[in-house]
Structure 1
Amino acid sequence: MKTKKQSLAVLLSAGIVATSISLPTSSYAATSNNVLSTEKYNEAIKSPEFISGQLTTPSSTKTEDVVFRYVDENKDKYKLGTKSAKESFTVKKQEDDTLGAKVIRLQQTYNGVPVWGSTQVAHVDNKGVLTVFSGTVIPDLDQKLQQPNQKISANEAVSLAEKELGFKPNYTVEPTSELVVYAKDDTVSYAYHVHLGFLSPQPGSHDYFVEAETGKILDHIEVLHAAKNPRNITGTVTTGTGKDSFGNTRSLNLLKSNNTYYLVDKTRGQGIYTYDAQNKGSEDDTSVLPGVLFNNSTNSFISKNAQAAVDAHTYAGKVYDYYKTVHGRDSYDGNGTKIVSTVHFGQQYENAFWDPELKQMVYGDGDGSTRSFTAAIDAVGHELTHAVTDSSSNLIYQNESGALNEAMSDVFGTLVEYYNNSNPDYLIGEDLFFQSGQALRSMSDPTKYGDPDHYSKRYTGTNQSQLVHTNSGIINKAAYLIAEGGTHYGVTVNGIGKDKMGKIFYRANTQYLTESATFSQARQAFVQSAADLYGTQSAEVTSVNKAFDAVGVK
């Protein structure tokens, strides 16, 4: 059973294999164009996790060819054996960086099979020079893997995962089963990545890794997923008002259709849609999401039942505005995609989550000791930042990458709260509680709610929910020190302000972090982001380095 704190704190994303790491040192030297010369190794895997500098000579060839040529010239470093770069990686996505570079995200493969969680990101500048290669490559696969001996079929893998789960769910989406190369610790094997997603008897989403030869369950990650897309609606754009959870009057953007007013805001991107699950979500009803589009006969949403919907609708708009105004990001994916929220999910459901399959927010009403999970703008910002992360770095919800995922959501939930400028602070979720002095977490003092503020105090157990929420405190403390400054464990950090800290963290999340990023790799990503934005010799770079020194991440 989860503790109250764990249950309240399960603010989710989607989920690799991350290894525990020893913390190596790295060297820094300034190069031209604000690129630091850095080479950082993941000592546990014995493979580079972040390399930057003038890594290649200028070239007019295709961007991906620049990257592949670099990898081929450094095959010994990445321990790819006889495989070429084009045989070892596929291009997942290519996009333009706002500072002028081309950014390519890669997926490591072996004999055409994806290596689960092993993704990389490369930056090539406008002269065709590779400047950054970020992300650990799983080495020596030619020595560790034979041809796949698939004694277990994909369907049998699903059955084995269901057996491990302990029951056959009433699925909202059909289970999936994909052959992958799965690496954890010193073991590498072919496995089926099985995903089970359902809403009853309670919302659940599980990723199982079933060894293809033996049927052994190699690993299990618990995430959340769901199942159907909300409908579109046409009408006249209008406005109205509503009362939030604290009785405050809020201005609302609405859509009027057939003399009914809907909580649909067409002024932002492709729209903000707010739905009502009507406290459904039971074993008898597995198709409740997204629910009924919240509506009223007038443009005044003042009933008690409407409070959670007014919160969700208002705060989703504030989060949209923050990312658009401050970072130039149009909705969570950068493409203006509609933002969908469902309130009143389940009976006394004391949680909230981002559902990456349905691509929407889901909020419970709390258990009586808490308000609806829409009541805190930092909680709403937290959840929608999971969507930003899913659409960019896709930090896997396990181990250090999962703790980074949580910390990113805490950081930007807090920055959204300051952007909204309504009694902002560095506490997370304090407005959810009726009793004053309570919160989910604290960025300024993680130990106040039982989280570590230094890498030496990190949680090292096997409970993944506890690991990702607890160890996020280390990164949260670093972010706080970067913004506000202070002396921590004998290290003094000069603060650079919340705005600059946010720009550095946003750039790292969208440009440098990879799915299985460790804290060590993340430090390099934050430092390089600061150098990109403010220069290699800047006070901002110094502050980031000092903050991570202060929390013990090398």
Structure 2
Amino acid sequence: MRTKAILSTTTLAASVALAAAAAPAQAAVGPITPSFAVDHATSAIRGHATAFAAGAGDTFASRGVLVDADGTSHVRFNRNYLGLPVIGGDVIAHLAKSGDLRDVTRSQAATLALSTTPTLNAARANRAAATALKGVPSGAATLAVDAIPGTPVLVWRTTVDTAHGQFHALVDAATGAVVDRWAEEQTIGGTGTGYNVGAVSLDTTQSGSTYQLKDPERGDTYTVDMNNKRFGKGTLFTDADNAWGTGTLSNRQTVAVDAQYGVAETWDFYLDTFGRRGIAGDGKGSYNRVHYGSGYNNASWSDSCFCMTYGDGDGNSYGPFASLDVAGHEMTHGVTSRTAGLVYSGESGGLNESMSDIFGTLVEFYSNNAKDPGDYLIGENIALNHEPLRFMDDPSKDSKSAKCWSSTVKNLDVHYSSGVGNHAFFLLAVGSGSHTVNGVTYNSPTCNGGTMSGIGNAAAGAIFYKALTTYMTSNTNYAAARTATLNAARDLYGTGSTQYNATAAAWSAVAVG
């Protein structure tokens, strides 16, 4: 059963029928605009109907545009069939910078061909839903096409009030059978006070008279209390007044606020910066497990549960591991597993860790949280003495990590071989020598005795993200990472550009040539 569905009609930015649509704008000169993308995506539906499973009875309405830094664009469309909204019929058109169609994402398997004349009237549909859910109808039933099952079906969309809250139900308009149902869920503006992030806003879910620490705006990401156990599913955090945590560790919700906020900020960072909707890029949320074990000094990502796990620390050297850069770090392991799939050993394992450190750092800068401002220190809020786990400007400051590549780097633990990639990123973003950022002073050496200037977090992050998601493979080593990032810099900024030359210089500065 669905856990959430949006039933209201979205305001339409543009609409097109297959039979008649406006011609697209000419090839863009300069930055790609949303209107340019919508025009060309609309034309693509008309010219490539089979790819969109589009038939003569369909109309499409754009409901969102994402334009990547390299000019590629992604346009989402809602679908109507003979005037009725199609549940599960939405599509995404992926366009090249030129406006040409590159790919289509859709769930609907085939062109729709069904009658839109119901056998059952609205009143009978409401009664059928109320009987099945043991409640009373609430509001008028409306017709729609449910394209999510294998065979699309004409349905009445109904709402039923029950003893357990309000539910939506889809009733087969021919047989009266309830084909799907789900609880009403609302995005609620909650507040929280975390241990590491302070006072923040949270999107939560109302369920009856209580609130759940579950975010319907970000794929239903949620947080559970493991109750200091290492096994089991944990308990979803709920609250009576939608005010979570107190900032003190005596309140079990406090660390949950840190974890939930960290995931929300990481989700928003990837979406706003790269157009990526969630870890797998499919809009589906992960979940957090906090209060894991007893005295557990670690945090982790697991592909098998699609979740993050946070220990509370031992209370002597370490406190809770839920913090902004750690959340970004762990979620990025998920992004890496869904893209390059870097094997977690040798140099590829060091790169895997490095990517997580890099994007965890960028999440911290993106969030601009007053209690945890952006820096190039990894996990600085975890140790009770605030000693970072790793230093990006000079990884060797921890006496374990490699700041320069050598043939022995592959033999190090991946958390220490990551230093080569971290150092290269810092040099690319900030530059060599002494710098002060957000009140923290850095002094980054080079391995070849040279000096270089940085190109900023945005450009450096764009290059590393494109390299990770487009050019790296499971066994990429540091030499191949140099090639991958140069390819990315070429695609984004051009061969010989300032950004391209700086990328080459950064790798040379860490002895990867």
**TM-score when scaled to structure 2?**
0.59
One-letter identity of the residue aligned with 1:314: Y
Q: Residues 260 and 479 (structure 1 numbering): CA distance in 2 closer, same or farther, change over 3 Å?
A: same
Shift of 1:239: 2.1
Shift of 1:347: 1.1
Shift of 1:297: 2.0
Q: Give 2:404's match in structure 1, choosing from 454, 459, 463.
A: 454
Q: Is structure 2 residue 415 aligned with structure 1 residue 469?
A: yes
The aligned counterpart of 1:187 is none
| Residues 36-115 of structure 1: pairs in structure 2 closer than 5 A | none
Shift of 1:467: 2.3
Contact 2:70 2:97 (C-alpha < 8 Å) held by counterparts: no
Q: Residues 395 and 457 (structure 1 numbering): CA distance in 2 closer, same or farther, change over 3 Å?
A: closer
Q: CA separation in 1, counterparts of 2:512 and 2:187?
A: 50
Q: Give 2:222's match in structure 1, choosing from 240, 257, 273.
A: 273
Q: Give 1:313's match in structure 2, choosing from 236, 242, 260.
A: 260
If asked which structure has higher relative contact order (CA below 8 Å, sep 6+), I would say 1
Larger Rg: 2
Contact 2:197 2:258 (C-alpha < 8 Å) held by counterparts: no
> Which sections of structure 1, spanning at least 5 residues, go unmatched?
1-95, 102-123, 129-231
Contact 1:486 1:493 (C-alpha < 8 Å) held by counterparts: yes
The aligned counterpart of 2:243 is 300
Q: CA separation in 2, counterparts of 1:391 and 1:431?
A: 28
Q: Is structure 2 residue 466 aligned with structure 1 residue 507?
A: yes
Q: Is structure 2 residue 420 aligned with structure 1 residue 479?
A: no
**TM-score when scaled to structure 1?**
0.55
The aligned counterpart of 2:389 is 440
Q: CA separation in 1, counterparts of 2:205 and 2:493?
A: 43
Q: Residues 371 and 533 (structure 1 numbering): CA distance in 2 closer, same or farther, change over 3 Å?
A: same
Q: Percent identity?
A: 38
The aligned counterpart of 1:372 is 320
Shift of 1:253: 1.1
Contact 2:346 2:410 (C-alpha < 8 Å) held by counterparts: no
| Residues 516-535 of structure 1: pairs in structure 2 closer than 5 A | 516-535=475-494
Q: Give 1:491's match in structure 2, choosing from 428, 437, 450.
A: 450
Shift of 1:384: 0.3
Shift of 1:99: 5.3
Q: CA separation in 2, counterparts of 1:337 and 1:100?
A: 22
Aligned-partner SS, 1:419: helix
One-letter identity of the residue aligned with 1:440: L
Shift of 1:271: 2.0
Shift of 1:237: 2.6
The aligned counterpart of 2:306 is 359
Aligned-partner SS, 1:453: coil
Aligned-partner SS, 1:456: coil
> Deviation digits for residues 377-404 of structure 1, max 9, x if unmatched?
1111000000110110010101010000
Contact 1:491 1:546 (C-alpha < 8 Å) held by counterparts: no
Q: Residues 531 and 349 (structure 1 numbering): CA distance in 2 closer, same or farther, change over 3 Å?
A: same
Shift of 1:453: 0.9
Aligned-partner SS, 1:332: coil
Aligned-partner SS, 1:431: coil
Shift of 1:100: 5.8
Contact 2:295 2:311 (C-alpha < 8 Å) held by counterparts: yes
Q: Residues 263 and 452 (structure 1 numbering): CA distance in 2 closer, same or farther, change over 3 Å?
A: same
One-letter identity of the residue aligned with 2:477: T
Give aligned pairs, total.
321
Aligned-partner SS, 1:371: coil
| Residues 174-189 of structure 1: pairs in structure 2 closer than 5 A | none
Aligned-partner SS, 2:340: coil
Q: Residues 507 and 549 (structure 1 numbering): CA distance in 2 closer, same or farther, change over 3 Å?
A: same
One-letter identity of the residue aligned with 2:471: Y
Contact 2:347 2:409 (C-alpha < 8 Å) held by counterparts: no
Q: Is structure 2 residue 199 aligned with structure 1 residue 249?
A: yes
Contact 1:354 1:360 (C-alpha < 8 Å) held by counterparts: yes
Q: CA separation in 2, counterparts of 1:246 and 1:469?
A: 23
Q: CA separation in 2, counterparts of 1:519 and 1:247?
A: 34
> Deviation digits for residues 340-395 of structure 1, max 9, x if unmatched?
11111111111111110111111111111212111x21111000000110110010
The aligned counterpart of 1:389 is 336
Aligned Cα RMSD in Å? 2.4
